[in-house]
Structures are given as C-alpha cells and as structure tokens.
Amino acid sequence: MCVSMHPAEFSGTTLYAGRRHHPEHGLVHVLGYRNTAANRADGPNAMLLHLPARGMTQANFLDVGDSTDVLDRMVDAVRPRSVAAGGMAAMDWMGGDGGRVEVFEHDIYTVMLAADPTDLPAALGRVPAHKRPALNPELMRFYAERYPGHALAVCCFDNASAAQAKPLLMWYEPLDPEVLVAPALDAHTGRPPGMVGKVPVDHWVLFGSDESPALWGEPVEYGPGMRHGLRAFLPDRVVGRRYEGLLPNGDFAVRHEDLLTSGTAEVRRVPQPVR
C-alpha cells in the first residue's frame, strides 16, 4: 500500500486512524503510518499521503522519539483477536510557490506539504538534491481533481535511507470530524492509481477514540519512557484487523458512531472521499 512518485515496492503496512480531544488543540484526528519499502527507482523517490485535513503545517508532524514501536504495540493489542493473526515483520520505512508549500525535515524525509498539489513543482527546488524526485504532473492532477481540499504530504527520501525511517505520526483538524479515514491508495509505478479492478493488500488497519465505551476494543501498553506530549495524542484502546488479498483501490473509512458501536465491522474501502 502506498502511492510512490517513482517505481517502488511496499509491504507490511500498518495504518492507525484515531479521534482525540486534545487538551490544547481540541477535537483532532491522528494518523499513524509505517511499512516496508524497497525503492526501485534509480534516484530519489517519495511516498504520497493525502489527508482530509485543514491547515496542516510542520507542527502537525509528531516526533516519536524513542517510541519507535508505538504502532507495533497497537498491533500487538489486537493481534490475539484478529481473524488473520500472524503478520509480516516490517522495517520502519517509512520559493516560487508563494509560501503555499511548506518544506521541512522530518526524520529521514524532506516533507513537502501542500493544500493544492499543483503548487508542488514550484517548491521542488527547496528539497535537497539527493532527495529531490522528479514530479509527475499526471499524479499531481490526480490528487488535485480527486481529493480537493485535502492536504498532500510528499515524503522525499534517497535510496540509502529508504528503510531507516521511524513511523510517521501526525495530527490534524479533520474536514469531517465524524469520519475516520486511513489513506490506503495503492500505486507503485509513479503513475496515477488505477481505480478500476482490485489491488493486492497486506495491511494492519487500526482505529481508536477517546469516546469509546468501557471494555471497547483492546488496551494498548506503550511501555515506560514515552513522552507526555506524544502520549496525549494516542488511544488507550484500539480495534483493528489485518487485511490481505485483493480489494478495490481506495482508503479505509468508518463513521465514528459506527466505530464505537460495531468496531471494525463497518469499516469500508472507499474509492472517493466520503461526503
């Protein structure tokens, strides 16, 4: 799972989508992401994540510090009750634009963060040369047309660092607070994702909410040493399952009310943003 700017292979993906009432930021959604990646391009590459978010900046990207196993601990919480327990071991893989694109360093990545994907080419020169991928205009148009109003994070990396990343964890003000979305579009060729037919998946998908009823889901043990600032964005309990086989291309989405009453039973693979 993932969309890459140039040819790549991805496997062993873990996705987390949660809803949280943060003491400083109010009602937010939180996204966690990691996978195993093999860069098949001759030079720099990038993975693309579209986010149903308002006003994202560098401050929305969380530093996991030494808590690099945060998503693994969520998977461990649900694994005994999963229909498909087992799972694959995964490495952590994770100017001229008028200021509309923010470019910053986060772990091994140089991240280009834009509200409008068509603004990205003008900002590409701000990415260090060794991590600067060529941008496919078709791919930029795909996101601009299919996901209007979404933030787009282009996480640029070089060949040497492709398998050295920590999990990505970010928070944002959601476009729709009542729908949790885990971005899972799949395209590994550098071209826009094909939306006809099915694609192979190998994902752990997890959800959390601080409004969950007692005994909902499974408790997560994060271990000692986690920073308080990071813990404030994370769930006490999660639900989740592993998805394998062939599914239509798209994202995983669930309405918050359905999540609290039915767990993962109402999670759907959606080819378009949920309106």
Structural domains of the chain, with CATH: 2-270 (2.60.250)
Tell me the pLDDT tens digit for each residue of 195-220. 888 998 888 999 999 999 999 999 99
Alpha helices by DSSP H, the chain? 70-78, 120-123, 137-146, 228-231, 256-262
Secondary structure of 202-225 in the HEC alphabet?
EEEEEEEECCCCCCCCEECCCCCC
Tell me the pLDDT tens digit for each residue of 11-22. 778 999 999 999
Asked if 78 contacts 239 with a C-beta cutoff of 8 angstroms, the reply is yes
Place of tokens 């109010």: 26
Closest listed residue to residue 256, CA positions, set 204, 203, 213, 202: 213
pTM of the model: 0.89
Tell me the pLDDT tens digit for each residue of 76-116. 999 865 444 333 332 222 244 545 899 999 988 899 999 99
Residue 161 has pLDDT above 80, yes or no: no
Please tell me the distance from the alpha carbon of residue 53 to that of residue 173, in angstroms, as a whole number.
Answer: 6
